[in-house]
Amino acid sequence: MGRLIADERTGATSMEAPISIRGVSKTFGKNTAVDNVVLDIPGGTVYGLLGPNGAGKTTLVRILSTMIKPTSGTALVNGNDIRKEPEKVRASIGVLPEETGLYDKLTASETLRFYGSVQGVPKSELEERIDRILKLLELYDRRNDRVGKYSKGMRQKLALARALVHDPPILMLDEPTLGLDVMSTRAIRQYVKQAATEGKTILLTTNNMHEAQLLCSQLTIINRGRVMTSGTTQSLEEMSKTKDLEEVFVHLVKGETIVPD
């Protein structure tokens, strides 16, 4: 959830968005990957970044998770500035990146034990937490197998478990089910739904229309690094009486105006 903050002049309080993006841009040479994005992501929601391949979704997640620095602008994540307080940002988020980056020679339990220790999880809690997460993601029976023997779906679930081991309030999931089998996809989607009901804020990137409709309560459609439109999933579906979300998406990424029929 967001953090309650007080106005120094009036003493009034308001809920700060867990992720607040202010004019963030990122260029690579002459190419603009993210173009002046301004966005507030509310707490306790699954918030989708929906866009085609190359739209800038992954670059934006990498910026918000402090993997790379923006060319201009900044963002607050859990109240911490990504430029000035990257360590605090990283402590408050769990990230499932595009590439899992797991160590093949470690087992699942060893992987989570290592990352949990790095994140400062007390030893008295760590083992119970590892077992619980592995059971939740249906990896417990393979907990002592080396990661090098895992299928793609199992590696993806372990990467998600790694993002969860320190119980962060904010999750950033980059294409979490891309290329996975039905059972792995179902397990990850079930967890995402559950995490939102527990009050976690989840930023999820996808180009899968069905997944966006299934998981996300709010969406931003992004293309060529720019925000095309934002709103609740239902409101975007209702932009035209006869156009579903897929048709709205196609029109917007082509730069066409949606006109109600």
pLDDT for 186 beyond 80: yes
Whole-number average pLDDT of the chain? 87
Q: What is the pLDDT of residues 62-83, one digit of tens each?
A: 999 999 999 999 999 999 999 9
Total-model pTM: 0.86
pLDDT at 207: 87
Question: Which residues partner with 109 through β-bridges?
Answer: none
pLDDT at 244: 61
Q: What is the pLDDT of residues 206-221, one digit of tens each?
A: 988 889 889 999 999 9
Q: Which residues contact 85 (CB under 8 A, 6 or more apart)?
A: none
pLDDT for 146 beyond 90: yes
SS3 call for 64:
helix
pLDDT for 8 beyond 90: no
Q: Which residues of 41-57 are buried (b: 16+ CB within 10 A; e: fewer)?
A: bebbbbbbbbbeeebbb
| Domain definitions of the chain by residue range | 99-167
Q: What is the pLDDT of residues 95-143, one digit of tens each?
A: 999 888 999 999 999 999 999 999 999 999 999 999 999 998 999 999 9
Average pLDDT over residues 14-38: 91
Name the more confident of 178 and 59.
Answer: 59
Percent of the chain with pLDDT over 90: 69
pLDDT band at 240 (very low <50, low <70, confident <90, very high): low
pLDDT at 114: 96
- Which class for 220: exposed (0-12), middle (13-18), buried (19 or more C-beta within 10 A)? buried
Taken in order 193, 194, 196, 202, is the CA torsion positive or negative? negative
